[in-house]
Chain A
């Protein structure tokens, strides 16, 4: 049997809204994943160095304050440079300021390297079951 995949969680940039990432971390642990919970206000560089050191399979970022796009500028280039081209990247939350159409936001974040982009109030258990496990299996990580 393969060991449980390692997933990194945290809020990105200066966002201090920690509840979302706590819920995500808890759900991942309950689903049997090895979780490295970095908590709030994690810099893009810290996500990268921790992913290297822990050989993580996915990063699940959350953001609520609407500045994620600004925080993640150049994140994709940096993680590719750091040899993390194969890691799964998910992000969810209130990703831009004001009301928005999730369909319009998704391509912008995909361009930043994210495999999946979720709107506010997404059911995390559903995400784990239907998307995360499938994506990890597709990469041979599960």
Chain B
């Protein structure tokens, strides 16, 4: 009997399942059904599995070995609170994004009563509290811990990843408190050093242990093995595997993944991002090798208003406004005109998301002449850009859309890729590659190489 593995993504709109033949390293079936998180997640899952079974024949599926990721029920919603905006707050933000979270609020300095009320109203799955380098400032993180200790049940999970010298006092604050408080290493142990990996692990573990339970996703465990990470984390894991390879199998090298969605657009870069020129000075917090950004205002279904604002001043196809209004109401493009409008919006999304993700070069004039200062990552030399998400995958102009991620002479300060090869995740399997990579990296990598289509 063939060894067939199932990989599942519980999305907010669709539950997707792919079945992979392990021996042949092939995709054998895929299904997409509406998610049923609100009622009982296993209903939708059952329907998807029936479709898959129709393709593979009964009895071949081993559901107990199936792995899943999830972005259902709002995804992993996090609030970050640090001290200085460009230092520990940014570090906490990078850590949360890297763990696949949706950051719904990011705070700096001493939290105020009003901000605490905002956080309570947002009811995040996790609050990530940072502040102070190790041995540095203790006042702010202790103040913020005390403020958070007074919140109601809307705030239950708090991860502390700040100045370790403050931990004893913070522990005293949360003594006799029913909240779930986890202590991990400082996300910024010293100035200029970012250490997000321990915090990342803590977030994912909490997600697996508590959060999927609270969201009703854990019911799926009655059918499958486990829901192991948020979907964006699975995509980031896939990107890492495809870039770095595993054991003796080489990867594609440094790369970028652009994931355009209905509500948000994610950009992942697996790249050092060091300056191309030796005389460039790096400024600001160093960014992680595996960096993810989420543009919460860029989506082709729920964020059309914001996109329309950006379109102003550009040339638009005929009947643009009326057609976009149709998209607003949930219509998908069907006519030539509609496709043209949709394409324009997708191009714009990719352009803006990539500009925000990539580093910038600034020319500073001093008494000794011109100096180049780089903020963020230099991605000009990255050789691979992978596109995923409905608007890219299902477009007839995937390449045109993705080309909007390129470096442009008119905006030469933006360090976007200059001459990459483009791939499209035609079969929508990146999340599956990331999940499979956790248990069988070698096979996951060959699947990716087989099904990513150069365009």
Contact = CB atoms under 8 A, between A and B. Distances in A.
Interface of A: 3, 6, 13-14, 16, 34, 36, 38, 41, 43, 46, 49-50, 52-56, 65-67
Contact of B87 (A38, A53, A56): A53
For B136, B281, B371, which residue has the most chain A Cβ atoms within 10 angstroms? B136
Contacts of B367: 14, 65-67
B364 A53 contact: no
A121 B86 CA distance: 35
B336 to A, nearest CB: 52
A13 B368 CA distance: 12
A50 B87 contact: yes
B132 interface: yes
Interface residues of B, number: 22
A52 B137 contact: yes
Contact of B86 (A49, A56, A67): A49
Nearest to B89: A53
Interface in B118-134: 132-133
Nearest to B133: A54
B87 A55 contact: no
Contact of A13 (B87, B188, B366): B366
Interface in B60-89: 83-84, 86-88
Contacts of A38: 191
A55 B88 contact: no
Contacts of A56: 136
Given A6-B136, A13-B366, A55-B136, A49 B190 contact: no
B137 A54 contact: yes
B250 interface: no
A46 B190 CA distance: 14
A49 B371 CA distance: 22
Closest 3 CB pairs of A and B: A14-B366, A54-B136, A55-B137
A49 B366 contact: no
Given A53-B132, A54-B133, A54-B137, A16 B368 contact: yes
Contacts, number: 54
A55 B138 contact: yes
Nearest to B281: A41
A52 B88 CA distance: 11
Contacts of B133: 36, 53-54
B95 to A, nearest CB: 16
The B interface is mostly helix, strand or loop, or mixed, namely loop
B454 interface: no
A49 B135 contact: no
Contacts of A55: 132, 136-139
Given A13-B366, A67-B366, 9 more contacts: A14-B366, A14-B371, A49-B87, A50-B87, A53-B136, A53-B137, A54-B133, A55-B132, A56-B136
A41 B188 CA distance: 22
Contacts of B136: 6, 53-56
Contacts of B188: 53
Nearest to B365: A14
Nearest to A65: B367
A47 to B, nearest CB: 11
Contacts of A16: 368
B135 A53 contact: no
Given A6-B136, A13-B366, A14-B366, A53 B371 contact: no
A66 B283 CA distance: 23
Contacts of B132: 53-55
B84 A53 contact: yes
Contacts of A52: 83-84, 137
Interface in B251-304: 281, 283
Interface in B186-236: 188, 190-191
A36 B137 CA distance: 13
B368 A14 contact: yes
B366 A53 contact: no
Contacts of B371: 14, 41
A138 to B, nearest CB: 22
B138 A50 contact: no
Contacts of B368: 14, 16, 65
18 contacts: A6-B136, A13-B366, A14-B368, A38-B191, A49-B86, A52-B83, A53-B83, A53-B87, A53-B132, A53-B188, A53-B191, A54-B132, A54-B133, A55-B132, A55-B136, A55-B138, A55-B139, A66-B367
A23 to B, nearest CB: 20
Contacts of A13: 366
Contacts of B281: 41
B98 to A, nearest CB: 21
Contacts of A3: 135
Nearest to A17: B368
Contacts of A66: 367
Given A14-B367, A55-B132, A65-B368, A49 B84 contact: yes
Interface string B317-338: 0000000000000000000000
A80 to B, nearest CB: 16
Contacts of B83: 52-53
B280 to A, nearest CB: 12
Nearest to A37: B191
B450 to A, nearest CB: 47
A14 to B, nearest CB: 3
A60 B271 CA distance: 35
